[in-house]
Amino acid sequence: MKRLLFFTLFFASFHGYSSDFEWNTKTQQAYLDIFKLKLTKGQQELSSELGTNGVALYLDDYADMLYLLLTEDRRSYEALVKKGEQRLERLEDMDQESPWNRCLRAEIKMHWAFVKIKFGKEVPGAWDVIKAYKLLDENAKKFPQFTYNKKALGMLHVLIGSTPESYRWVTKLLGLRGNIQQGLQEIHSVAVKEPLFKPEAQLIEYLMQAYVLRLSKSEVTDFQKFLNQNDDNLLIQFFGNSILMKEGYGEAALAIANNHPASREYLSIPFFTYHKGEILLQKGDYDQAILAYQQFLKQHNSGNFIKDAYYKQYLCYELDSNSKQAQAYFSKIKSVGETNNEADKTAQKASDKPYVTFTANQRAVMKARFASDGGYYEQALGMLKNLTEASFTDLYDQTEFNYRKARIYHRMNDFVAALPLYLRAVELGEKQNWHFAPSSCLQIGYIYQLRNEKAKAKSYFEKAMSFKKHESKNSVDGKAKAALNEMGY
């Protein structure tokens, strides 16, 4: 959910409502530069506007938020948080009758919600989200024709609408209301009616589809066209790299990681190097993957994905049958980094167990898993061609084998082959605290949803949410809830 909150609450026309809030030539150009991650240039363009223009205060804050999220600069965190608080105080003294006042204050609160959650301060971040929602909802009632307000409010409506059933009482208690389709329509209206903010709103739509719902193949094709049309926008390219990796387009993602905007005007983002390591691991190019992870650790030596980078180097060596080096990296995982995201938590959890060398069959399944994640489906199937469930003696390994093979066939659109393997994974893992059974139920639900067999889809989405304890519960429950919402349940 964090990862989803990080990636979807990221974003914060021309309306002459108040001289306190002006989208003039300077602020428009600053916005375009900051949105492209030309942060220094954008903030310099705002310098003469900061004393009198609320839009400039908002954009200055937007730049600080992007900087912290994409660099995780711990040394600058406290000072920039204080600057955010000061901007809010100044905005509160500006024209309260302008629709921009509550809207921009809400977006600044959302900025710091992102940052606080990314830096491990979840509770204060969550309260900032709630305060932002209240401001946006109040603003929508006071100024129903103010389109820009729908960008941030639409995102929150999507997120709240996808909240798992077990947490719905919290949103109701706090007065938070959400609906996925309503939220998507609100964001789309900004893309249609506000030319200046069209690329930002379009990016948000793609993020919602990718991380809350699903992107179809045609939508991925459209997304790639969108990336090509914005090849000078580093922020769009960064999210493009992330989404293409998530959707299994490893080669396209690798092309962006190797060839994104990188002049001195742009912010330097170490996570491109981390992503490069991930894709090379998927390709089975272990030596180059290790080099990429090591380069990432030189660029980014504290914060998120540190544990995971060590864990992935351990896996590279283990999958390459170099147990001595694998054990050396395995032993370092506990003493480095943080556990503020799922990847680092997974790495930490693995390091809590005794080091065990993979068997040849376990190695084959792990290689197939990574190849499948990168979209290398034929290679993945080839790694499993000589294996059956009987090749494994451990119940965990048997369950994982069926699930991983099902995922490969599913991604190849061979539902006939995928379904019985998913069902077998459910049968084997139903009484365990592993994610394979609930994840299989979620994927079976998607297959029936695609076939328009709504009753069967509903049954499996609900079953996916019924599993009480497993490492992917928030993610699985959120996706199942979103799918049910999408179908009208």
Mean pLDDT, residues 219-242 taken together: 96
Cα distance from N-terminal residue to C-terminal residue, the chain: 21
Q: What is the pLDDT of residue 80?
A: 94
Residue type, 435: H
Find the Cα–Cα–Cα–Cα dihedral 445, 451, 455, 461, rounded to 10°: 10
Mean pLDDT of the chain: 91
Q: What is the pLDDT of residue 176?
A: 66
pTM for the structure as a whole: 0.88
Residue type, 4: L
Distance from C-alpha of 155 to C-alpha of 12, rounded to nearest angstrom: 10
Q: What is the pLDDT of residue 470?
A: 85
Q: What is the pLDDT of residue 172?
A: 61
Mean pLDDT, residues 458-472 taken together: 91
Q: What is the pLDDT of residue 12?
A: 41
Residue tagged 């499993």 (tokens): 384
Contacts of 20 (CB under 8 A, 6+ apart): 52, 53, 54, 94, 95, 98, 100, 101
> In the structure, what pLDDT confidence band is assigned to residue 15 with cuts at 50, 70 and 90?
very low
293 closest CA partner among 349, 243, 343, 232:
343
**Tens digits of residue pLDDT in 29-78:** 999 999 999 999 999 999 999 989 999 999 999 999 999 999 999 889 99
Distance from C-alpha of 181 to C-alpha of 292, rounded to nearest angstrom: 40
Contacts of 72 (CB under 8 A, 6+ apart): 118, 119, 300, 302, 303, 304
Mean pLDDT, residues 157-186 taken together: 72
**Angle at alpha carbon of residue 217, lines to 214 and 220, rounded to 5°:** 75
Q: What is the pLDDT of residue 43?
A: 96
Q: What is the pLDDT of residue 16?
A: 45
Q: Per the structure block, which two tokens stand in for 60?
A: 């200055």
DSSP state for residue 354 in the 8-state scheme: P
8: pLDDT strictly greater than 60? no
CA atoms within 13 A on the CB side of 191: 15
**Tens digits of residue pLDDT in 190-214:** 999 999 999 999 999 999 999 888 8
Beta carbons of 99 and 143 less than 8 angstroms apart: yes
Q: What is the pLDDT of residue 486?
A: 83
313 closest CA partner among 283, 360, 347:
347
Chain centre to alpha carbon of residue 230: 20
Beta carbons of 71 and 267 less than 8 angstroms apart: yes
Residue type, 312: K
Distance from C-alpha of 271 to C-alpha of 393, rounded to nearest angstrom: 39
User: Could you give the C-alpha distances from 302 to 75, 293, 338, 350, 460, in angstroms and in order?
Assistant: 11, 14, 8, 20, 41
Mean pLDDT, residues 241-252 taken together: 95
User: Could you give the C-alpha distances from 6 to 223, 340, 419, 457, in angstroms and in order?
Assistant: 20, 12, 33, 29
Distance from C-alpha of 193 to C-alpha of 189, rounded to nearest angstrom: 6
> In the structure, what pLDDT confidence band is assigned to residue 167 with cuts at 50, 70 and 90?
low
